[in-house]
Amino acid sequence: MAETVLKLSGKVVLITGGSSGIGLAAAQLMHEHGAEVVIVGRDAKKLHEAVTLIGPQASGVAADVSKLEDIDRVMKVVAVRHGRIDVLVVNAGTSHSPPLREVDEAAFDAMIGLNFKGAFFTVQRALPLLGVGASVILTGSAAADLGRWGDPLYAASKAAVRSLARTFANDEALAHRQVRFNVLSPGAVKTPLTQEAYEQPDVDAYVCAAVPLKRWGAAEEIARAALFLACSDSSYMTGSVLAVDGGMGQV
Ligand SMILES: NC(=O)c1ccc[n+]([C@@H]2O[C@H](COP(=O)([O-])OP(=O)(O)OC[C@H]3O[C@@H](n4cnc5c(N)ncnc54)[C@H](OP(=O)(O)O)[C@@H]3O)[C@@H](O)[C@H]2O)c1
């Protein structure tokens, strides 16, 4: 049998929202590929369980990435523990917000505060730690381009993430250091975030009808694309969107 090539040997990976779903699957796969992985989430118990599951080269920082002081604390911990970041996965996010007519200011601030503001400041505060050739992966969503799907705040927050990747990728100083920014764009994926939805037969039927591949994705399928964007296999990609959505946003 062919020997497994370790694609992230010795690399330092920071994943926000790494204690569950897509982030956890990415953390496990990147760890299997030789990375030292730091994961971030708010719930310390969930974080601890995830770190144990990922393996010996994993650690966690409990933090709320919608708060700047927490983001700064995460970066300080990573600086002390590892001195640099080779792969940053800006993944913490939610999709839960009310439909158009029920959105109030608090709901607006919560969604935008995590998915957009959190993503922006996670990247900004990580910049001093990003080494030459670092890869930054921002988790977007097929919903960013689909007016018919999702709710307005969620779709707009992920469209903002896509916009950030374009402008970050075009930053001259970062580009000279070969720092790359790409969006990983999942469709409908079975995770704790979507559990309530996929357990409802009508929602499940709607999703399976809308997705060309006629099924939900698995977090592990998104993680394999994250590994590709993280490692040198994607060394000539920046400012791109990699859609892993069963065709949902493509046809
Ligand atoms: N599942 C899908 O169908 C789908 C589709 C497209 C895009 N996405 C995107 O993929 C990303 C991951 O989603 P998922 O489905 O894997 O969700 P998930 O299973 O709910 O995981 C979310 C992760 O983010 C963490 N998190 C949430 N709020 C946070 C905060 N304020 N600060 C720090 N960490 C926080 C959670 O931990 P704590 O709760 O402990 O903080 C958890 O580790 C999100 O950006 C989501 O929008 C998901």
Query: For the segment 174-207, what is each residue's pLDDT rounded down to a tens digit?
Result: 999 999 999 999 999 999 999 999 999 999 999 9
Active site residue 158: yes
Q: How far apart are CA 136 and CA 134, in angstroms?
A: 7
Helix (H) or strand (E) holding 241: strand 241-244
Catalytic, out of 76, 158, 190, 198 = 158
Q: Which domains does the chain have, with CATH numbers?
A: 12-190+217-244 (3.40.50.720)
Region class of 17: left (phi > 0), else alpha (psi between -120 and 50), else beta: left
Question: What's the token pair of residue 153?
Answer: 């705040």
Sign of CA dihedral 16, 20, 24, 26: negative
Q: Which of 71, 88, 73 lies closest to 11 in space, CA to CA?
A: 88
Query: What is residue 1's predicted lDDT score, i.e. its pLDDT?
Result: 53
Query: What is residue 250's predicted lDDT score, i.e. its pLDDT?
Result: 95
Question: Taking the model in full, what pTM does it have?
Answer: 0.98
Atom 24 (ligand 1) nearest CA: 17
Atom of ligand 1 nearest to the CA of 92: 24
pLDDT tens, residue by residue, 23-64: 999 999 999 999 999 999 999 999 999 999 999 999 999 999
Measure 18 CA to ligand 1 centroid, in angstroms.
Answer: 8
pLDDT tens, residue by residue, 133-155: 999 999 999 999 998 766 899 99
- Terminal C-alpha separation, the chain: 38
* Residue ranges lining ligand 1, Cβ < 6 Å: 16-17, 19-23, 40-43, 46, 64-66, 91-95, 114, 139, 141, 186, 188-189, 191-194
